[in-house]
């Protein structure tokens, strides 16, 4: 009976892994080396990949300034509307991303209060990298907040209280104890937010079809030319993003062991 149970687990696990790996493997095998080289030399493709990487990274770093303190507040404080706040934070995950794009467009359009305020300092969200970053941030921010909150919750409160009793300020306790001990979860949240931003399509395409990020470019080429022209772009994008994530993990791992 014990061996039968393990066999069932292995079979089910293998089927799930095949479901994940098979489509990706099939896409790679169906793309020839000449197609990959030609796509890698395509200026439009490489420009879209650079735009995708930098807007997602910018959105992640910019929003982390508010997301990390909010995560700490949610981990340490109890207040009447806390469950409501937690539900609001998770909303971008559950609502359709096309609906998210419409909401963002209404909030940041040129006729909105925010849009007019941004225009007064020379920033236009619609059809610009700023709008792309805003859309990416909206759909991906829950991943950072939730991961950072879990990290702060794992930090023993007694350590913070001991530091406070020795005369350290709350800000110093946060920087020297809470933040370092929750670092791994925060880094994971940053990576997850960055990754989610890279893959966003529905919200971005509504607020900024142009300039094209790579998910939009893939959709554009598939609609205009078919699978044969869209597939190499997808493969190149996956390879580059995979290399970026390996580099990020290597850097964070190197710092951990330093």
| CATH number of the domain bearing residue 184 | 1.10.3720.10
The verdict on residue 204 lying in a domain is: yes
* The pLDDT value given to residue 253: 66
45 in any annotated domain: no
The answer as to whether 16 is a domain residue is no
**Mean pLDDT, rounded, for 166-172:** 92
Residue for token pair 């995708």: 52
pLDDT at residue 34 in the model: 93
Residue 91: its pLDDT value, please? 94
Say if residue 159's pLDDT is above 50. yes
pLDDT of residue 254: 52
Q: Please report whether residue 66 resides in a domain.
A: yes
- The answer to whether the beta carbons of residues 160 and 173 sit under 8 Å apart is yes
The confidence band for 175, taking pLDDT boundaries of 50, 70 and 90, is very high
Q: Given pLDDT bands bounded at 50, 70 and 90, which one contains residue 124?
A: very high
Nearest C-alpha neighbor of 193 from the set 21, 20, 25, 58: 58
Q: What is the pLDDT of residue 247?
A: 82
Domain count, the chain: 1
User: Is the pLDDT score of 252 beyond 80?
Assistant: no
Residue 151: inside a domain, yes or no? yes
In a domain, 194, yes or no: yes
pLDDT for 1 = 66
Tell me, what's the pLDDT at 3?
79
* Domain membership of residue 152 as a residue range: 50-209
Asked if residue 88 is part of any domain, the answer here is yes
pTM: 0.90
Least confident of 58-67, 197-206, 236-245: 236-245
In a domain, 250, yes or no: no
Band (5; pLDDT cuts 50, 70, 90): confident
Report pLDDT for 248: 78
Which positions ≥6 away from 37 have C-beta within 8 Å? none
């Amino acid at each position: 009976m014990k061996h039968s149970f393990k066999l069932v687990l292995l079979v089910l696990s293998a089927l799930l892994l095949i479901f994940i790996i098979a489509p990706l493997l099939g896409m790679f095998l169906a793309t020839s080396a000449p197609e990959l080289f030609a796509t890698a030399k395509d200026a439009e493709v490489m420009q879209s990949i650079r735009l995708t990487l930098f807007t997602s990274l910018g959105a992640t770093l910019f929003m982390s300034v508010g997301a990390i303190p909010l995560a700490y507040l949610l981990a340490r404080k109890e207040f009447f509307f806390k469950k409501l706040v937690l539900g609001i934070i998770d909303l971008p995950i559950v609502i359709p991303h096309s609906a998210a794009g419409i909401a963002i467009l209404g909030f940041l359009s040129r006729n909105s209060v925010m849009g007019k305020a941004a225009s007064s300092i020379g920033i236009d969200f619609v059809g610009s990298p700023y709008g792309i970053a805003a859309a990416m941030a909206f759909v991906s921010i829950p991943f950072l907040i939730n991961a950072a909150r879990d990290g702060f919750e794992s930090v023993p409160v007694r350590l913070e209280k001991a530091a406070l009793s020795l005369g350290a300020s709350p800000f110093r306790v946060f920087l020297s104890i809470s933040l370092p001990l929750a670092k791994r979860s925060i880094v994971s949240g940053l990576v997850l937010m960055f990754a989610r931003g890279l893959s966003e399509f529905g919200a971005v395409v509504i607020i900024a079809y142009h300039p094209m990020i790579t998910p939009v470019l893939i959709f554009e080429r598939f609609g205009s030319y078919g699978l044969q022209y869209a597939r190499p772009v997808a493969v190149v994008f996956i390879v580059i993003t995979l290399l970026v994530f390996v580099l990020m993990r290597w850097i964070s791992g190197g710092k951990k062991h330093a």
